[in-house]
Chains A and B, each alone.
Chain A
Amino acid sequence: GAVVSQHPSWVICKSGTSVKIECRSLDFQATTMFWYRQFPKQSLMLMATSNEGSKATYEQGVEKDKFLINHASLTLSTLTVTSAHPEDSSFYICSASYGALHYGTQYFGPGTRLLVL
């Protein structure tokens, strides 16, 4: 149980284009979803937290106009990287939580590798 999927798993795009990444909770309703970014050999850095039907809360230093997050339902959140540039190339991971046993439990998607040429 508590499976989270992400699509696509890989994306290569040209500089200046926009890329949308989907995150779905497959067998539970996620009260909160999180988006992380991870550069090679580094830790996960939280970009934003989103709750269904409300605006995402972005971490300090994350451009909300560049990284658009939509959490339209309890099972789907999307991250759109607008006007992507090579420096946006990274590994993006989403996670989802619900009223699990342990506070802070998050279920992670498999991640999306973005390469901007």
Chain B
Amino acid sequence: AQKITQTQPGMFVQEKEAVTLDCTYDTSDQSYGLFWYKQPSSGEMIFLIYQGSYDEQNATEGRYSLNFQKARKSTNLVISASQLGDSAMYFCAYPQGAQKLVFGQGTRLTINP
């Protein structure tokens, strides 16, 4: 089964700075996708961005972008110009059989004013 690893339990960043959240995965699949979700304190899971393994370019959605390194099996989330509202838990996830999602342990991001 695929394994997703987020090695940063917590990150603290000053407002307006950029932050990179790490995610590595272990898979033998040739074609796959990776998701990033944000979970604020309210608990809802908010989809942020998706990267397909055969996408030629790194995915970008507004202030969110991915640094996808296929050979290293990593997909790091970059948040530019961080805002106080970015404080939340962030999860990367890998879809496996029957469209199930396997989630990483998560990273708690705190943006300091």
A residues in contact (CB < 8 Å) with B: 32, 34, 38, 41-44, 46, 49, 57, 91, 93, 95, 97, 102-111, 113
Contact = CB atoms under 8 A, between A and B. Distances in A.
Interface residues of B, number: 25
Interface string B94-108: 111011111111101
Interface of B: 33, 35, 37, 42-45, 47, 50, 52, 91, 93-96, 98-106, 108
Contacts of A93: 43, 45
Contacts of A111: 43-45
B99 A104 contact: yes
B27 to A, nearest CB: 13
Nearest to B4: A43
A108 B39 CA distance: 11
Given A93-B45, A103-B99, A104-B100, 20 more contacts: A38-B43, A42-B106, A43-B103, A43-B106, A46-B100, A46-B101, A49-B98, A49-B100, A93-B43, A95-B45, A104-B35, A104-B93, A104-B96, A105-B35, A106-B99, A107-B47, A108-B37, A108-B44, A108-B47, A110-B42
Contacts of A105: 35, 47, 50
Contacts of B52: 102
27 contacts: A32-B98, A32-B99, A34-B101, A41-B108, A42-B106, A43-B103, A43-B105, A44-B91, A49-B98, A93-B43, A95-B101, A102-B50, A102-B52, A103-B33, A104-B33, A104-B93, A104-B96, A104-B100, A104-B101, A106-B101, A107-B47, A108-B37, A108-B44, A108-B47, A110-B44, A111-B44, A111-B45
